[in-house]
Amino acid sequence: MDPFFGGMERTLRRVTDTGAAYHRRQSPYGRPIDLAAAVACEDTRQRGELVGDSDTDRTPHVEGRPADGREPRRPEGTGGGFLMGRVYGVPVYVAPSWFLVAALITWFFGNQLDRVLPELGNGRYLVSLFFAVAFYASVLVHELAHTVAAIRFDLPVRRIQLQFFGGVSEIEKESQTPGREFVLAGVGPLLSLVLAGVFYLGMLVVDADTVPGVLLAGLMISNLIVAVFNLLPGLPLDGGRMLRAVVWKVSGSPMTGTVAAAWTGRVLAVAVLIGFPLATHLGSAGERDSFTGLETLTDALLAAILAAIIWTGAGNSLRMARLRERLPGLNARALTRRAVPVTGETPLSEALRRANDTGARALVVVDGQGTPVAVVREAGIAGVPQHRRPWVPVSTLAQDLTDGMRVPAGLTGEGLLDHLRATPATEYLVVEETGEIYGVLSTSDVERAFIDAMARPAAFPGRPPAAGS
């Protein structure tokens, strides 16, 4: 699947999550805060996975934040399942859904073994379980190919996860050239083809009517299916990313490549929905007389699931490409609120009066030398009743500044979002290169600007200079 937009998607989720607990509160500076509606408007949720695909992760919505306004960092791997180990420093997780699939594979493959090797008895299910584990080990090799290529191209990999329909390699940035993207997408299916060849060679040296022969045949076929399916030329499959790279190279525009590969993916989804049940029915026409029965229902259900995943993944790839195209419009300087410096002992009512007199919409706490030491949280102000504000010093509502909460005024686009992701908070101090205070940046303003940009009609993808391979 789409392995390259994970960092951007997760960044936007964290930016939009920050401050969501303050849904529809009234700003003390006269502006309504409606974060939850914006989050719902542009929900960058995770796509489903297909066997052997690479994709990105999901960041669950967080309903609240601690009193200091900082977003708590999730423990590494939270929501990823069971940590099985690390490869090249990348954690490998097994999702709980894998156990369900392993049980289904064990049952189905065991029933097939009963026809081929009836002498195994109930021991056939132990052999089937071994096959399920070996098959997912092959999927892990597929994902490791993506991971090694990403590391080779200096692209960060957050984790590998084995789950319901296969695996995902969570690569956090997009390739910078079409050539690298083609390689990064193609190495997974290539390794699956290599594994299929290795298992085929193993079949040549064992008896086909033995347990090793049946296992090798099953692994050869399954890896061949994984490779061929993922090479289909439509997003979010690996073949779709390869098609995107080719169109990108020819047209000079990554957005044009994404549009072409995504619509090809949608056509592919319709073909899977209709063609898969039809093909399986025609292939067993001598055994079944009509489109009825449990096997036909199972085929139709599987086709519907696969088609839905492909269609959704293609649509999400389009949306994330559109996001990336419009990211340069996110400018820290343009989004910064004018701020008024106040000392920590200043009563809240007096600080707000100064802000209103100067047209400022943020408060920065400074020490005796005028050095900024904290940013007053807007949500903290909103939580103080008006009659108590003369007796509440602003220092009690402020978040102490850390290095990560100082944002250079020149940051834009992905660089800005990466900075916010590295130190999650609700407000940041924006500073010039000289260290002079420029103002305060609120994540709610970043989110609003992003939603506004996404709401504008999409322009036809341009033709920037072609990137080198």
Question: Per residue in 193-232, pLDDT tens?
Answer: 999 999 999 999 999 889 999 999 999 999 999 999 999 9
Averaged confidence pLDDT in the chain: 79
Residues 115 and 127 in one domain: yes
**Number of independent structural domains in the chain:** 2
Greater pLDDT, 333 or 21: 333
* Domain edge (last residue) among 295, 328, 361: 328
Residues 373 and 268 in one domain: no
Q: How many other C-beta atoms can be found within 10 angstroms of the C-beta atom of residue 442?
A: 27
Which amino acid would we find at residue 450? F
Contact by Cβ (8 Å): 31, 287: no
Give which of 178, 186, 224 is closest to 203, Cα–Cα: 224
The 10s digit of each residue's pLDDT in 149-164 is: 999 999 999 999 998 7
DSSP 46: P
Q: Looking up tokens 């594994």, which residue turns up?
A: 195
Which pair of tokens denotes residue 309? Answer: 């995943």
Helix (H) or strand (E) holding 200: helix 178-203
Contact by Cβ (8 Å): 363, 376: yes
Which domain, by its residues, includes 138? 82-328
Does residue 75 sit within a domain? no
Does residue 189 have a cis bond before it (omega within 30 degrees)?
no
* Domain edge (last residue) among 303, 328, 353: 328
Structure confidence at residue 408 as a pLDDT band (50, 70, 90): very high
Global confidence as pTM: 0.67
Residues 224 and 151 in one domain: yes
Residues 225 and 354 in one domain: no
Give the lowest-confidence range in 70-74, 218-222, 327-331. Answer: 70-74
User: Radius of gyration (Cα) for the chain, nearest Å?
Assistant: 27
In this predicted structure, the answer to whether residue 435 has a pLDDT above a threshold of 70 is yes
* Domain edge (last residue) among 309, 328, 347: 328
Using CA atoms, how far apart are residues 68 and 103, in angstroms rounded to an integer?
46
The domain spanning residue 367 has which CATH number? 3.10.580.10
Does residue 461 sit within a domain? no
